[in-house]
Amino acid sequence: MWIGVAAAGALLLVACAGLVVWSVAESRPYAALPSCGDLLPADLLDAVPDTDRPRVDGRFTGVDEVSLHEDTTANEGFRGSLDCVVSEGSGDHVLNVYVALYDAEVGLAGIENRREEIEDGILDLEEGRFGQDLPGQSFEVDVHGWTELSAGDGGYAVVADYTDGEWESGGSHAQAYFSSANAVVSVSHPQDGRVDEGEFLGFLERFAGQLDRQLSREGERV
């Protein structure tokens, strides 16, 4: 199942149209991200559907610990990422939250690139070609439903299956992508078997809004 999440992660990531402008009145940039425990408190964990005794683990990984594939504008100003995994009491992984942080001063090109990627993702969803333009892609994407998100600076949520010649995801993946100031957020929620896309899109829409508010509340601003 988590192989599917990795493949789906190749579709990221994230954002909304418009120039990136920091101001006190609008979207003050983040200097640091909260811990996974602060970003995902008990009320957010309990909002994840069909989970039993959920808990969260994970940490922030600085750029010096990350191997970036290419030195491009997409990585310009990248400071690191917070990777949070939500598990049930049984130990099964049920949801992943990933937050990439870009430097508020030198990361404008990187965050704007991510915003353009999400705008492209929305356009691809509108035109029925989501996931078809990735370099070296070997898997197929079957989209069951999607919606635009108002969380942060905007984004989208999608429910889809991912398959290729060697493996099948075995179920659907509900995913959300949005940006918030100089942070880029993705949520992955894999499911066994086919799901009610309307139900899970509704969950992602609510969860993304709650996540953005929690990030704003707990993150350290510049």
Which CATH number is 27's domain given? 3.40.1000
Domain that holds residue 95: 2-221
Counting beta carbons within 10 angstroms of the beta carbon of residue 105, is it exposed (0 to 12), middle (13 to 18) or buried (19 or more)?
A: exposed
pLDDT of amino acid 2: 38
CA torsion sign, 79 to 101 to 137 to 71? Answer: negative
Lowest pLDDT segment from 137-146, 159-168, 204-213: 159-168
pLDDT of amino acid 83: 97
Task: Render pLDDT for 19-75 as a digit per residue (tens, 0 to 9).
Answer: 344 433 346 899 999 999 999 999 999 999 888 899 999 999 998 887 655 555 557
pLDDT of amino acid 118: 93
- Look at the chain and report how many structural domains it folds into: 1
The Cα-based distances of 214 to 39, 40, 116, 159, 218 in angstroms read 6, 8, 24, 24, 6
182, 103 Cβ separation under 8 angstroms: yes
Task: Work out the percent of the chain whose per-residue pLDDT is above 70.
Answer: 76
Place of tokens 């709650």: 210
Average predicted confidence (pLDDT) for the chain: 81
Question: In which band, very low, low, confident or very high, does the pLDDT at 156 lie, cut at 50, 70 and 90?
Answer: very high
Q: What is the mean pLDDT of residues 14-19?
A: 33
pLDDT of amino acid 69: 52
Q: What is the mean pLDDT of residues 83-98?
A: 91
Place of tokens 């990136």: 20
Lowest pLDDT segment from 30-34, 74-78, 196-200: 74-78
pLDDT over threshold 60, residue 9: no
